[in-house]
Amino acid sequence: MSIDVFVIVNGSELGEYILRKTWEAAQRIFKEYGIKVFVIPYYSVKAPVSIIINGVEYVIHRKLSFKELMNMILSAAPLSSGSEEGEVAAIGLWGHSEDRSLGNAETVE
């Protein structure tokens, strides 16, 4: 099992802090739970600092604690491992061509 985490940074101190703490949280999650977390930084001058975890975007406005970041990432992991059946939700993410920002995540049923 793995979790993809895109960290959108814009050159601000907050963006650099979130990227560093997300990387530390990813290492801890792998050591404690054996879950691979892939942290992918993405630089955009115009975008707000945000984290996209398995396709769901969270816009960040303040410095999150290490525990908050770990909980945010772990919430994207399935609740039960090894299950072959279960509900599936498709998450959509779209871009706006005018300002190149990411749209809001939307659950499609």
Q: Domain-by-domain residue ranges, the chain? A: 2-108
Q: Residue 104 pLDDT > 60, yes or no?
A: no
User: Per-residue pLDDT for 109 more than 50?
Assistant: no
- Please, what is the average pLDDT of the chain? 78
Tokens in use for 95? 């871009």
Evaluate if residue 50 carries a pLDDT over 90: yes
CATH of 2-108, one of 3.50.50.60, 3.40.640.10, 3.40.50.300, 3.40.30.10: 3.40.30.10
88 vs 46: which has the higher pLDDT: 46
Which candidate, 28, 17, 27, 23, places its Cα nearest to that of 60? 17
Q: Could you tell me whether strands 2-9 and 36-43 are parallel, antiparallel, or unpaired per DSSP bridges?
A: parallel
Farthest CA pair distance, the chain: 43
Pull the structure tokens for residue 85: 């059946």
Tokens of 79: 């609740």
Is residue 16 within a helix (H) or strand (E), and if so which, with residue range? helix 13-33
